[in-house]
Structure 1
Amino acid sequence: MVSVTNRITQVKQPRGGYINPKDFKFVELNDSKELFPDENTHSTIVGLAVDYLTRFTMGTSAKEAFQISILGSMLVHENDYAMALVDAVIGLDDNSIINACKLVGFDVARRAGVAAYRPVESILPDHEAISNIRIMVERSTTFLKEFGPIVKDGFTFECGYTQIVSSGDGDFLTQSTLWDFKVLKKEPTNKHTLQLLMYYLMGCHSIHEEFKSVDKLGIFNPRLNKVYLLNINGIPSEVIHQVASEVIGY
């Protein structure tokens, strides 16, 4: 039994992917802000910090927004330190962003196992990383105000897991769209589009009624400030059946 992202690495997709990323329509947003080309912090840390800080900025409590980080900290017996970091995330000031980056360093213990954990004290984002994270969170909140409102965030798929896929969590749901945030320097790949389709199918099998009104899959990349959208009814039914049975195990 594996996570959604691990399952994707095991699957040999048909040529172009189950869903070709080129099938998504994209919209380029523009805020005239420039990101620094380089930052000293790992892309996974930056991506998670942007994701959770966006949830926090949109009104989710820090404790809820960083829930996976907190669960990870318990596994490595660092819960007191993690809770002190949570209390110190108060906005988008430099210190809050640094604390957020340290906090998400605990995620790996929960997502990949304790053996993959490295002490979070060593995570020290530089000026460039802090500035980039701040701009990307601001872009994300602007995007959500335009394409929202959010009806659910940071959700898991209770009753949607199988003997093959046992974990995975989605980013944001609006009334009509399942959104995944990707903080990438490049365009989405067929791994990312398969991840979204898996989340959608698992959501439909889960306890969450909100998936009944979802008719689009969306990716937002705050690094490129681009939105990618695909109508679910444009996905061939045989692709949906194949992913449901052969990839997820329904």
Structure 2
Amino acid sequence: MVSVTNRIAQVKQPRGGYIKPKDFKLIELNDSKELYPDENTHSTIVGLAVDYLTRFTMGTPAKEAFKISILGSMLVHESDHAMALVDAVIGLDDSSIINACKLAGFDVARRAGVAAYRPVGTILPDYETISNIRIMVERGTAFLKEFGPIVKDGFTFEGGYTQTVSSGDGDFLTESTLWDFKVSKKEPTNKHTLQLLMYYLMGSRSIHEEFQNVEKLGIFNPRLNKVYLLNINGIPSEVITEVASDVIGY
């Protein structure tokens, strides 16, 4: 039993992928802001900080936005430290962004196991990293105001897990679209597109009724400031059947 991302790493996809990234429609957003080319903090931490801070900025309470970080902190007996960091996330000032990065450092204990955890005190984003995170969160909130509103965020798939895939959590759901945030410097890959399809198939079998209205899969990359969209009814039925049975195990 593995997570969605671990399962994707095990699967040999057909040539080009189950869903080819180029099948997604590209929408380029423009705010004329420039990001610094380098960051001193691991890309996973940056991505989680952007994701959680975007949720927080859009009105999700900090304890809810950082819930996986808090769960991770409990596993390494650092929950007091984590709660102090949560209380100190108050906006997009430097210190809130640093605290968000430290909190994201607890996620690994929950997602990959306690052995993978490293003390979060070593996470110290520099000026360039902080600035980039702030711009990406601002882009995230601008994106959600245009493509939102959010009907669900930070969701899991109770009722949709299987003997094969036992964990995984999605980013955002708007009225008709399941969204994943990616802060990669590269365009989406077929691993990203398979992840979205798996989330959709698991979501539509889960206890969450909101998935019944989903018509599109979307990726938003605030680093590139690009949106990628695909209509689910454009995905061949044999692809959906194969992913459901061979990849997820329905």
TM over 0.5: yes
Partner-residue secondary structure (3-state), 1:39 = coil
The Cα of 1:192 is off from its aligned counterpart by: 0.2
Partner-residue secondary structure (3-state), 1:141 = helix
The Cα of 1:3 is off from its aligned counterpart by: 0.1
Runs of 4+ displaced beyond 4 Å: none
Which whole-Å CA distance do the structure 2 matches of 1:27 and 1:239 have between them?
25
The Cα of 1:146 is off from its aligned counterpart by: 0.1
The Cα of 1:44 is off from its aligned counterpart by: 0.2
Which whole-Å CA distance do the structure 2 matches of 1:209 and 1:122 have between them?
41
Residue aligning to 2:36: 36
Residue aligning to 2:239: 239
Matches within 5 A, 1:172-183: 172-183=172-183
Q: Which runs of 5+ in 1 are unaligned?
A: none
Residue aligning to 2:147: 147
Residue aligning to 2:6: 6
Which whole-Å CA distance do the structure 2 matches of 1:61 and 1:210 have between them?
21
One-letter amino acid of the counterpart of residue 33, structure 1: K
**Matched positions, count:** 250
Which whole-Å CA distance do the structure 1 matches of 2:4 and 2:39 have between them?
28
Which whole-Å CA distance do the structure 1 matches of 2:215 and 2:60 have between them?
25
The Cα of 1:226 is off from its aligned counterpart by: 0.1
Which whole-Å CA distance do the structure 2 matches of 1:166 and 1:132 have between them?
34
The Cα of 1:169 is off from its aligned counterpart by: 0.2
Residue aligning to 1:249: 249
Which whole-Å CA distance do the structure 1 matches of 2:42 and 2:27 have between them?
27
The Cα of 1:104 is off from its aligned counterpart by: 0.5
Q: Which runs of 5+ in 2 are unaligned?
A: none
Which whole-Å CA distance do the structure 2 matches of 1:204 and 1:101 have between them?
32
Which whole-Å CA distance do the structure 1 matches of 2:78 and 2:213 have between them?
40
Residue aligning to 1:190: 190
Which whole-Å CA distance do the structure 1 matches of 2:39 and 2:214 have between them?
36
Residue aligning to 2:21: 21
One-letter amino acid of the counterpart of residue 156, structure 2: T
One-letter amino acid of the counterpart of residue 151, structure 1: V
Residue aligning to 1:85: 85
The Cα of 1:203 is off from its aligned counterpart by: 0.1
The Cα of 1:110 is off from its aligned counterpart by: 0.2
The Cα of 1:106 is off from its aligned counterpart by: 0.2
TM-score in terms of structure 2 length: 1.00
The Cα of 1:130 is off from its aligned counterpart by: 0.1
Which whole-Å CA distance do the structure 1 matches of 2:75 and 2:99 have between them?
19
Which whole-Å CA distance do the structure 1 matches of 2:29 and 2:160 have between them?
34
The Cα of 1:69 is off from its aligned counterpart by: 0.1
Q: Deviations over 1:17-46 (max 9, x none)?
A: 000000000100000000000010000000
The Cα of 1:6 is off from its aligned counterpart by: 0.2
Which whole-Å CA distance do the structure 2 matches of 1:117 and 1:152 have between them?
29
Residue aligning to 1:226: 226
Identity %: 88
- Output the aligned Cα RMSD: 0.2
One-letter amino acid of the counterpart of residue 114, structure 2: V
Which whole-Å CA distance do the structure 1 matches of 2:158 and 2:213 have between them?
18
The Cα of 1:10 is off from its aligned counterpart by: 0.1
Which whole-Å CA distance do the structure 2 matches of 1:226 and 1:55 have between them?
19
Partner-residue secondary structure (3-state), 1:27 = strand
Residue aligning to 1:205: 205
Residue aligning to 2:163: 163
Matches within 5 A, 1:58-137: 58-137=58-137
Partner-residue secondary structure (3-state), 1:192 = helix
Which whole-Å CA distance do the structure 2 matches of 1:39 and 1:6 have between them?
26
Which whole-Å CA distance do the structure 1 matches of 2:151 and 2:204 have between them?
15
The Cα of 1:142 is off from its aligned counterpart by: 0.1
